[in-house]
Structure 1
Amino acid sequence: MHSGSAMPAYVDLKTRAVLSVSGPDARKFLQGLVSNDVEKVAPERAIHAAFLTAQGKYLFDFFIAEVAGALLLDCEAERLADFQKRLRLYKLRSKVEIADASGRYAVLAVSGEDAADALGLTGEAGVAKEIDGGAVFVDPRHAGLGARVIVETDKRGAFLAAAGLSEGTLDSYDRVRIRLGVPDGTRDMQIEKTVLLEAGFDELNGVDWQKGCYMGQELTARTKYRGLVKRRLMPVRILDGEMPSPGTPILRDEREVGEIRSGTGDMAIAMLRLNVLEDLEHAVLSAGGVTVLPVKPDWARF
């Protein structure tokens, strides 16, 4: 993945929390609402998916893993209550229970060259297995991000001891994510504005084109088949100065062509108009007075 991180290390993702969706209709219920195929979720497989507005704009994104028969959704902690409320609006007569399980589970990320190995997983995105009190899975978006762990809080210590993981820093994990060009929820995507294909959801295994209807599906499909994506989230390198703060406009010849989103070190995720990439040799992009250089991720097809 990158040098200097061979030893697997874990970080507590304090900004994440867990919502439990269980009951006889749990899969069918989620299947009609989210962008990925919930039928694929099994003890051996986890997925990443999004919940959209009816107009196909981003609302939430999350991971789904199966633990003890329930579907556990690893989502943004500060938006969990809103997510739970919105899901409940669609419950109607479904036999499904939507419960806040954030007090019960911790969410961890494990990164480093051998993260999957250390947890007894093959290195393929989405591969999962059950552990005592939870599940571990290779990040379904990109195997280079390492693995994620959802584990009961009281079993966390035993799990970490058995796996022999040392504690890493959130910053080093963020650097890997940004270098790979993988968006991090609302830090990079705008609620009710971002379209999934602008965020690379298609290439990052977050959309299933074969599944039936879900909320916002029509716009998502139309965007793909008509080639309507005019801007994309992508990594940028900050060349000569301080990291601009999130929301700083990116300019080309005084014209606004994008904006900075999350960043650390000398790399950030930015939303950029795709037409500025066409003749980059002749164009200088800047944000907050520093030069910005777009970097196309190897997985991206734009």
Structure 2
Amino acid sequence: MKSQLTLPLLRPLVRPYICTNCLSRSIPRSVATTISRPYTSNRNPPHPPQSAYAQLSSRRFISLSGPDSTHYLQGVITANLSPPVPRKSGFYTAFLNAQGRLLNDVFIYPDGIGEGNWLIEVDAKEVERLAKHIKRYKLRAKFEVRVLDVEEKGVWSLWDEGRKEWTAHSLVGDGSAQKNERGGEVGCDDMRAPGMGKRLILPGTRKPEGEMEETSEESYRIRRYLKGVPEGQDELIRESALPQESNIDFMGGIDYRKGCYVGQELTIRTHHTGVVRKRVLPVMLYGVDESMPQSLKYLPEKEVGAEVIPRETSIGRVEKRGRSAGKWLGGVGNIGLSLCRLEIMTDVQIPGEGGGYKENDEFKLEWEGSDRQEMLKVKAFVPPWHLTKQ
């Protein structure tokens, strides 16, 4: 029997940024049965395998090629393309608008062809939109922008809970992984959170090889949710959230020492003031008759129905009124991600805020169902890796 993936509830430490008892969500007994009824025939995905790879069909590629591509990217992304050590593999970053709000979270890779050739991995539903954005603001810069067909290249997530190092040979069997011009693989270690594994770009329908099983993208999503890693514009709201609210900083996507780029002013100001009132956090759903969970667990046997909760549904206190405590972003089964107001839903101390968090507070999500008002309780957890980023 496979062991459950768990994330223990953090207790007060020296750092104020921890989540003890945060969020919850309520549903009457009569509604609890109604919520599970339409979904009992659609079983939740099983626990993710300990060692596996999954193709990420939710991601697509944009190719940038030409002498001015590197200079252009340096001025529009939050990461630094000109660090002291030249980049040999891909990296995580984001595009912002002029007001410092998130447009797209992306991975960028040297594409293996030559100097000034880059692959931008982005949410598949946003690929055409981002390509148009780049073309609109490239002005007279000399580079070509092309959206790759899905048959040209695919991105794979690979993980092994017991493995600490990855090599091209172990991933493609014969050691013939495509190389970029600096000798690195077309791919990267996924450094957004500990244990996320590796991303690998392969041509066409080619798959990674080695002693790992192939699994679905749902397994990858469950792993992301348990680790608290948001991805794509269903979970990182376009032109709304600040990069810090989206954990882009915690996930290594912002270089605060680089020069000017679009959206830098507000990003730097937020960093120096240290005031981030909201963060994307992993959450667990539970019924009104259930006790508040003490650790984050994916329970595939529970037909809670996270998938039917409308995106951006407001989170409120159970049996209390007041300002919204956050927004629901998405989930699978009984787990998901929410944009949480820290001073209400966690014991995080925000400069200049009085703080309204109480240890036994419970929170709820309410939305209009097909024939009645639906409710569930929801509780948030702060991942341990957030503490190391303070």
CA contact (8 A) 2:90 2:186 kept: no
Select between 221-230 and 200-209 the one with higher mean Cα deviation: 221-230
Cα pair distance change 1:107/1:116, threshold 3 Å: farther
Cα pair distance change 1:20/1:216, threshold 3 Å: same
Q: How does 1:185-200 map to 2 (within 5 A)?
A: 185-200=232-247
Aligned position for 2:197: 146
Q: How does 1:79-228 map to 2 (within 5 A)?
A: 79-103=126-150, 104-114=152-162, 117=165, 119-120=167-168, 131-132=177-178, 135-153=186-204, 156-157=206-207, 160-161=208-209, 163-228=210-275
5+ long unaligned stretches in structure 2? 7-46, 180-184, 288-303, 348-356, 367-374
For residues 126 and 48 of structure 2, the distance between their equivalents in structure 1, rounded to whole angstroms, comes to 31
Cα pair distance change 1:261/1:24, threshold 3 Å: same
Cα pair distance change 1:153/1:60, threshold 3 Å: same
Task: Indicate whether 1:11 and 2:78 are aligned.
Answer: no
For residues 97 and 280 of structure 2, the distance between their equivalents in structure 1, rounded to whole angstroms, comes to 20
For residues 53 and 87 of structure 2, the distance between their equivalents in structure 1, rounded to whole angstroms, comes to 22
The residue type equivalent to 1:282 in the other structure is N
For residues 274 and 176 of structure 1, the distance between their equivalents in structure 2, rounded to whole angstroms, comes to 23
Q: String of CA shifts for 1:15-72, please: whole Å, max 9, x gaps.
A: 1111111222221110001111122595633211111110001111110111222211
CA contact (8 A) 1:56 1:218 kept: yes
DSSP-derived class of the 2:146 partner: strand
Q: String of CA shifts for 1:237-285, please: whole Å, max 9, x gaps.
A: 1122443613222111233211111111221100111111133413111
Residue correspondences, number: 292
Q: String of CA shifts for 1:122-141, please: whole Å, max 9, x gaps.
A: 9xxxxxx9823772321132
Select between 37-46 and 90-99 the one with higher mean Cα deviation: 37-46
DSSP-derived class of the 1:144 partner: coil
Cα pair distance change 1:82/1:141, threshold 3 Å: same
DSSP-derived class of the 2:220 partner: helix
DSSP-derived class of the 1:82 partner: helix
Larger helix percent: 1
For residues 258 and 115 of structure 1, the distance between their equivalents in structure 2, rounded to whole angstroms, comes to 36
Q: CA deviation at 1:111?
A: 2.5
Higher relative contact order (CA 8 A, sep 6+): 2
Q: CA deviation at 1:10?
A: 1.6
CA contact (8 A) 1:115 1:147 kept: no
Task: Indicate whether 1:47 and 2:62 are aligned.
Answer: no
CA contact (8 A) 1:111 1:173 kept: no
TM-score scaled to structure 2, two decimals? 0.69
Aligned position for 1:296: 382
Aligned position for 1:268: 336
CA contact (8 A) 1:6 1:113 kept: no
Task: Indicate whether 1:36 and 2:79 are aligned.
Answer: yes
Give the % identical residues: 28
DSSP-derived class of the 1:198 partner: coil
The residue type equivalent to 1:286 in the other structure is K
Larger strand percent: 1
Aligned position for 1:125: none
For residues 167 and 90 of structure 2, the distance between their equivalents in structure 1, rounded to whole angstroms, comes to 15
DSSP-derived class of the 2:222 partner: helix
CA contact (8 A) 1:43 1:67 kept: no
DSSP-derived class of the 2:386 partner: coil
Cα pair distance change 1:130/1:77, threshold 3 Å: farther
Aligned position for 1:283: 361
CA contact (8 A) 1:32 1:214 kept: yes
Cα pair distance change 1:214/1:118, threshold 3 Å: closer
Aligned position for 1:126: none
Select between 6-15 and 269-278 the one with higher mean Cα deviation: 6-15
Aligned position for 2:101: 57
1:67 to 100, 111, 125: 111
Aligned position for 1:257: 325
DSSP-derived class of the 2:200 partner: strand
Over aligned residue pairs, what C-alpha RMSD do you find? Answer: 2.6
Task: Indicate whether 1:247 and 2:312 are aligned.
Answer: yes
The residue type equivalent to 1:98 in the other structure is V
The residue type equivalent to 1:233 in the other structure is V
DSSP-derived class of the 1:197 partner: coil
The residue type equivalent to 1:30 in the other structure is L
Aligned position for 2:66: 23
DSSP-derived class of the 1:81 partner: helix
For residues 162 and 89 of structure 2, the distance between their equivalents in structure 1, rounded to whole angstroms, comes to 19
CA contact (8 A) 2:48 2:223 kept: no
5+ long unaligned stretches in structure 1? 123-128
Q: CA deviation at 1:11?
A: 1.4
